[in-house]
Amino acid sequence: MPKMRAVDAIVQILEKEGATEAFGLPGAAINPLYSAMKDHGGIRHTLHRHVEGASHAADGYSRATGKIGLCLGTSGPAGTDMITGLYAAIADSIPMLCITGQAPTSVLHKEDFQAVDIESIAKPVTKYASTILEPGLVPGTFAKAFQIMRSSRPGPVLLDLPINVQMAEIDFDIDAYEPLPVDKPKATRGQAEKIVDLLLTGKKPLIIAGGGVINANASDKLVELAEELNIPVSPTLMGWGAIPDDHRLQAGMVGIQTHTKYGNATFLESDVVLGLGNRWANRHTGALDVYRAGRKFIHVDIEPTQIGRVFSPDLGITSDAAAAIDAILEVVRERKAAGALPDYSAWADSAAARKGTEHRKTNFDNIPIKPQRVYQEMNAAFDRDTTYVSTIGLSQIAGAQMLHVFGPRRWINAGQAGPLGWTGPAALGVVRGKPGKKVVALSGDYDFQFMIEELAVGAQFKLPYVHVVVNNSYLGLIRQSQRGFEMDYHVQLGFDNINSPETNGYGVDHVKVAEGLGCKAVRVEDPAKLADGFAEAQRLAEEFQVPVVVEVILEKVTNIAMGAALDAVNEFEDLALTAEDAPTALVPLGANVTVSA
């Protein structure tokens, strides 16, 4: 059996497990692992300016590819900096491996420099966290970590490596190492028949497609199922792209914030709902009495403790989404061949009709620019293969209401945690995972400022993408939520910038900051120049291979449609779509636009 340092074994294991994209920062306590990466090759590393940024980049890479991204850091504060990234990953069921250095085992009880019990800190936001105290446990612990990340509901893991454990020699043969089997529950034939039986009792059945469909790489199968049944599909925020926006059966997103008008309207007409790989998140359901009234629910999820967590469904099945769809498809096709499927054409047509009528106005010519116009122009400027990255705020909510997504893993969003600052570094991870593909990030000015230093990473490593920053110089979502308290308190970000009077009281000069970090930037203040601005940004990204910021100066106050229940979304009447807006409305491709005056 060959002898080698534990870190040399770790690098070989990472390669064999297919985890070869790393984001992080070296340091004294993790330098042995970095020396092994340098000696062996095979793992590409991107140096970040902040360890939290590295964790978000690993998360973005994992979401974009379905592979496991690595986040590496030294001991103490490097580990604690990763916690927000781990939270974002576990909240959305994303597998990601964080590896931290640690003080020697002999001084862990002596309050040594940068020694912290990161295992205990990380446990609530990981599927598994462990400080490996014995060198001989390294191979088995890593094998277990990969099995845990991939099994059942996916999620992140943190492994903590004392420096003496990293340097110790162990007996290890990579040819004798094999990844452990992954456990994913599968719906049985009998369960599939019960799902179909209940679904077909409805006159207006609807499928809710969650992030579990995308995690299972089951998007194509989902579309097949919808087409066989001829029933509408509504993606959740995490499932957006599982069925393309321009598919005739894509019925729009449901929710009290991130939603479409036609999506909510179709849901409220439905009578049986099949949830596949979704959580019934509160921003999706809103008030449960409204959401549940008059309809039956089937819930299929890979994690058994998700069934009944928010409300008890009429039928709950524990299964991987792909396996469940396969089993359901088999039953559906048999019944179709026997002529035993109801005809849902009228229902599907009615959902399509709503998709062509229920929209919000976007074609504003105002200066300062109204945000709705930005998303209208983004849809025109960026093609259907574009991958969008966003996380939180009115920018994300309005983007989810108005942008278009045409395939799985083309909407990358920290949906449940929503950490400010996630967007930029996550976009860098997406670019690493999708080389040569068009990546467009969307941030408000505050999200953008949180980890703005990460732009330098994109400049250094030639990671081109377009970052649209909609700047209203406000904490817009918080300001809107403060309306209930009749206040506007500590949410204004503007000030007179003595170095950049051209910012006109909006404060931070994002163009100068971006350029100072080695990137390119464009500022747009006239809606008529948005198209040119987006075209120029794409040209600059391609020419210089760096991130390009498009700062759009918005009016400071715009209220975006949202509410407490699906039937009580405040539409803010001044933004309602009228008949004369129809030719320029944000309508998914393939929908016929007819707007009543």
- What SS3 string covers 4-71? EEHHHHHHHHHHHCCCCEEEECCCCCCHHHHHHHHHHCCCEEEECCCHHHHHHHHHHHHHHHCCCEEE
DSSP letter (8 states) at residue 459: H
Q: Where are the beta strands (DSSP E) in 314-369?
A: 315-318
The CATH code belonging to domain 189-355 is: 3.40.50.1220
- Give the pLDDT confidence score for residue 384 in this predicted structure: 95
**Residues in the chain, total:** 597
Task: List b or e across 32-57, with b for residues whose CB sees 16 or more CB atoms inside 10 angstroms.
Answer: bbbbbbeeeeebebbebbbbbbbbbb
Q: How far apart are CA 59 and CA 45, in angstroms?
A: 14
Q: How far apart are CA 24 and CA 98, in angstroms?
A: 9
Burial class (CB in 10 A: 0-12, 13-18, 19+), 490: exposed
Q: Which residues is 97 bridged to in the sheet?
A: 70, 157
Q: Which residues is 467 bridged to in the sheet?
A: 441, 549
Q: Starting at the edge strand that comes first in sequence, how are the strands of the sheet with 272-276 ordered? A: 233-235, 205-209, 272-276, 296-301, 315-318
Alpha helices in 200-320 (DSSP H): 211-215, 219-229, 261-269, 282-285, 288-292
Which candidate, 302, 425, 504, places its Cα nearest to that of 51?
A: 425
Q: How far apart are CA 574 and CA 41, in angstroms?
A: 59
Record the pTM. Answer: 0.94
- Give the pLDDT confidence score for residue 263 in this predicted structure: 96
Neighbours of 447 (CB within 10 A): 27
Q: Which H or E run contains 298?
A: strand 296-301
Q: What angle do CA 159, 165, 168 make, to 5 degrees?
A: 140
Sequence spans of domains, the chain: 3-176, 189-355, 371-560
CATH topology of domain 3-176: Rossmann fold (3.40.50)
How far CA 412 is from CA of 240, 247, 365, 388, 489, in Å, comes to: 9, 20, 30, 6, 31
C-alpha torsion angle, residues 17, 18, 20, 22 (rounded to 10) = -70
Question: Is the torsion defined by CA of 570, 573, 575, 581 positive or negative?
Answer: positive
Q: How far apart are CA 526 and CA 503, in angstroms?
A: 14
Domain 371-560, CATH class in plain words: alpha beta
Q: How far apart are CA 196 and CA 274, in angstroms?
A: 10
Cβ(94)–Cβ(112) under 8 Å?
no
- Give the pLDDT confidence score for residue 573 in this predicted structure: 56
Tokens of 527: 């809606």
DSSP letter (8 states) at residue 341: S
Burial class (CB in 10 A: 0-12, 13-18, 19+), 110: exposed
Alpha helices in 175-218 (DSSP H): 189-199, 211-215
Tokens of 146: 């990969």
* Identical fold, 189-355 and 371-560: yes
Residuewise pLDDT in 10s, the chain (597 residues): 799 999 999 999 999 999 999 999 999 999 999 999 999 999 999 999 999 999 999 999 999 999 999 999 999 999 999 999 999 999 999 999 999 999 999 888 888 887 899 999 999 999 999 999 999 999 999 999 999 999 999 999 999 999 999 999 999 999 999 999 999 999 999 999 999 999 999 999 999 999 999 999 999 999 999 999 999 999 999 999 999 999 999 999 999 999 999 999 999 999 999 999 999 999 999 999 999 999 999 999 999 999 999 999 999 999 999 999 999 999 999 999 999 999 999 999 999 999 988 888 899 999 999 999 999 999 999 999 999 999 988 899 999 999 999 999 999 999 888 899 999 999 999 999 999 999 999 999 999 999 999 999 999 999 999 999 999 988 778 788 888 898 888 988 888 999 999 999 999 999 999 999 999 999 999 999 999 999 999 999 999 999 999 999 999 888 889 999 999 999 875 555 554 554 444 444 444 443 332
